[in-house]
């Protein structure tokens, strides 16, 4: 093996019942290289990572590690760790009842017999080095979600490791924390660590990566040098088709009009999660959005609309009539649907099938004393799997087996099944591939054409501008501006976030 190559995979095959997850895939990682692994959900990225780390055993092919004579045998994560491969997966389950130090070293044989004081001292050194605002002896559950994610990354960081694999590590981090992570990645790169970086944020790839390997449908599309690959060509490689649809998406968006009938109107709405009293309305067939920095209150505001959090004040009208919405079922009965930000925690029921997850909201509306027949639920599942092109081996497949993008489609289908007049989508495209993201954006515009009102929230401003006719800008859990028509520009949004005048307060 070339001395500059730290990891080499050749001819990797991996098949699951009914799915060829990897077909003759090659991958090369060099010392001191940050290498993006990209592709749509279901392209094979996570499967390849799990093969490299011993979670899955490959069907054929070989893996070679620098300094090792002959092919490596990786049958377990412990084998991978012993070979110098550290990993942070997209969705990590930490132990909130344990301390930060215990979470950092749990299951790591290298530190298995270290006493608690020494363990906390070592953890404190790592936390200080990475500038993570947590104490080694602090209970993890008292930390914010972003800090917990950084602790998960700290678990995997070891200056002696040869390979660091980061699977969507920035999805829960704000801009400052992303920069902190990138600083760490560059530091590791300078120490000749090879880094495999999986992300759906194109900006991040072009900011920090040296190489890109693209997979599609379990096959290798190619390896590219970042500086020589235009973004349009990267997206085309991922999708396997031209980008006319993406270019023309904005042209499908209608201008904002206040002449339509108001479907939902709130006055002085507030919640137990600290949302300041705010006024809000949405017209029939309108797509609007809440935007603002992390912690601005955009998600808490729509949770108040759906009563996902306890409502503490305000008046609500639906179709001009006073209604009382104090729990999600009240909102559902008023024709409101809600796709939550936390897909794993609040959206899917992991052990239920695609069919069972899909019919859930409709069943709640009907009441559990009036269950849908098996034949009816199967017919509806087949219809919406086809409509949204959900990739699943069967409607009876457990939803946890699906890629993130396809799980998101199931949740969207769940609400479409109830024929809502008002649909709230909070981060519907987070952590999913470019192709599925485009499909969901198109579906939003199609729903608006059919008269459905949609509130769309995304942390990506460019995406908001692609679909929204009106934007409500938030800062410090207050509305600080409302933008429409020629105001819908990135510079105006950022200006409003930085210095807008609050609507309330």
Residue 422: pLDDT above 90?
Answer: yes
Neighbours of 300 (CB within 10 A): 21
Same domain for 35 and 130?
yes
CA separation for the pair 343, 411 (Å, rounded): 8
CA separation for the pair 388, 410 (Å, rounded): 8
The string of DSSP letters for 345-391 reads: III--TTSBHHHHHTHHHHHHH-TTSPPPHHHHHHHHHHHHHHTT--
Same domain for 173 and 305?
no
Q: Is 189 helix (H, G, I), strand (E, B) or coil?
A: helix
Same domain for 178 and 266?
no
Same domain for 169 and 70?
yes
Same domain for 174 and 293?
no
Q: Quote the Cα angle for 183-186-188, to 5°.
A: 110
> Is residue 20 situated within a structural domain?
yes
The pLDDT assigned to 266 comes to: 95
The last residue of a domain, from among 225, 242, 259: 242
Number of domains in the chain: 2
Same domain for 186 and 323?
no
Same domain for 125 and 258?
no
Confidence category of residue 501, pLDDT binned at 50, 70, 90:
very low
Find the CATH number of the domain harbouring 266.
3.40.50.300
Average pLDDT, the chain: 85
Residue 327: pLDDT above 80?
Answer: yes
Write the pLDDT tens digit of every residue in 255-307. Answer: 776 767 999 999 999 998 878 899 999 999 999 999 887 668 888 999 999 99
Same domain for 296 and 147?
no
The stretch 203-207 carries a mean pLDDT of: 89
Same domain for 311 and 220?
no
Same domain for 151 and 208?
yes
Write the pLDDT tens digit of every residue in 21-51. Answer: 999 999 999 999 999 999 876 789 989 999 9
> Is residue 80 situated within a structural domain?
yes
CA separation for the pair 119, 137 (Å, rounded): 10
> Is residue 45 situated within a structural domain?
yes
Same domain for 217 and 279?
no
Confidence category of residue 404, pLDDT binned at 50, 70, 90:
confident
Write the pLDDT tens digit of every residue in 56-101. Answer: 999 999 999 988 888 999 999 889 988 999 888 766 568 889 999 9
The last residue of a domain, from among 242, 271, 306: 242
The last residue of a domain, from among 242, 275, 310: 242
> Is residue 224 situated within a structural domain?
yes
CA separation for the pair 251, 173 (Å, rounded): 32
Same domain for 106 and 248?
no
- Any idea which of 316-320, 399-403, 466-470 has the lowest mean pLDDT? 399-403
Domain limits at 90?
5-242
The stretch 182-200 carries a mean pLDDT of: 88
Supply 289's token pair: 């959005």
CA separation, residue 22 to residues 88, 138, 385, 389 (Å): 21, 41, 24, 21
> Is residue 215 situated within a structural domain?
yes
Beta-carbon contacts of 423 under 8 Å, excluding residues fewer than 6 positions away, are 336, 337, 338, 339, 415, 447, 452, 453, 454, 455
The stretch 126-146 carries a mean pLDDT of: 84
- Any idea which of 9-13, 65-69, 170-174 has the lowest mean pLDDT? 170-174
CA separation for the pair 372, 30 (Å, rounded): 55
């Amino acid at each position: 093996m070339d001395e500059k190559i730290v990891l080499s995979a050749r001819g990797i095959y991996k098949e699951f019942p009914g799915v060829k997850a990897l077909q003759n895939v090659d991958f090369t990682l060099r010392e001191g290289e940050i290498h993006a692994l990209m592709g749509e959900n279901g392209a094979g990225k996570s499967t390849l990572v799990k093969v490299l780390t011993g979670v899955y055993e490959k069907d054929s092919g070989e893996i070679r590690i620098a300094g090792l004579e002959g092919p490596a045998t990786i049958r377990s994560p412990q084998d991978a760790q012993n070979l110098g491969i550290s990993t942070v997966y997209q969705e990590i389950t930490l132990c909130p009842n344990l301390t930060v130090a215990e979470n950092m070293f749990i299951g790591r044989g290298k530190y298995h017999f270290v006493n608690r004081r020494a363990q906390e001292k070592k953890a404190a050194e790592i936390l200080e080095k990475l500038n993570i605002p947590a104490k080694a002896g602090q209970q993890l559950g008292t930390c914010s979600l972003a800090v917990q994610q950084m602790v998960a990354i700290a678990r995997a960081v070891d200056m002696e490791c040869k390979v660091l694999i980061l699977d969507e590590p920035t999805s829960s981090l704000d801009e400052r924390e992303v920069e902190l992570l990138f600083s760490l990645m560059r530091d590791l790169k300078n120490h000749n660590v090879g880094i495999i970086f999986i992300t759906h944020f194109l900006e991040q790839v072009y900011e920090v990566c040296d190489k890109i390997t693209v997979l599609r449908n379990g096959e290798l599309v190619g390896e590219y040098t970042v500086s020589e690959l235009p973004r349009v060509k990267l997206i085309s490689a991922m999708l396997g088709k031209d980008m006319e649809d993406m270019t023309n998406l904005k042209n499908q968006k209608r201008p904002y009009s206040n002449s339509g009938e108001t479907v939902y109107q709130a006055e002085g709405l507030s919640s137990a999660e600290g949302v300041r009293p705010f006024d809000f309305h949405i017209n029939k067939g309108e797509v609007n959005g809440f935007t603002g920095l992390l912690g601005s209150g955009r998600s808490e505001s729509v949770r108040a609309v759906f009563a996902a959090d306890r409502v503490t004040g305000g008046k609500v009208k639906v179709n001009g009539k006073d209604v009382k919405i104090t729990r999600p079922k009240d909102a559902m009965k008023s024709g409101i649907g809600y796709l939550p930000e936390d897909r794993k925690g609040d959206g899917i029921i992991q052990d239920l099938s695609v069919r069972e997850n899909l019919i859930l909201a409709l069943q709640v509306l009907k009441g559990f004393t009036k269950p849908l027949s098996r034949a009816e639920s199967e017919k509806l599942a087949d219809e919406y799997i086809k409509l949204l092109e959900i990739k699943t081996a069967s409607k009876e497949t457990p939803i946890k087996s699906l890629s993130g993008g396809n799980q998101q489609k199931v949740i969207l289908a769940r609400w479409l099944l109830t024929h809502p007049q008002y649909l709230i989508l909070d981060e519907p495209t987070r952590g999913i591939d470019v192709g599925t993201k485009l499909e969901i954006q198109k579906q939003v515009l199609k729903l608006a054409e059919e008269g459905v009102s949609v509130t769309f929230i995304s942390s990506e401003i460019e995406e908001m501008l692609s679909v929204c006719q009106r934007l409500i800008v938030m800062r410090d859990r207050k509305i600080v501006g409302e933008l429409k028509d020629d105001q819908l520009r990135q510079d105006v949004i950022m200006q409003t976030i930085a210095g807008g005048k609050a609507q309330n307060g």
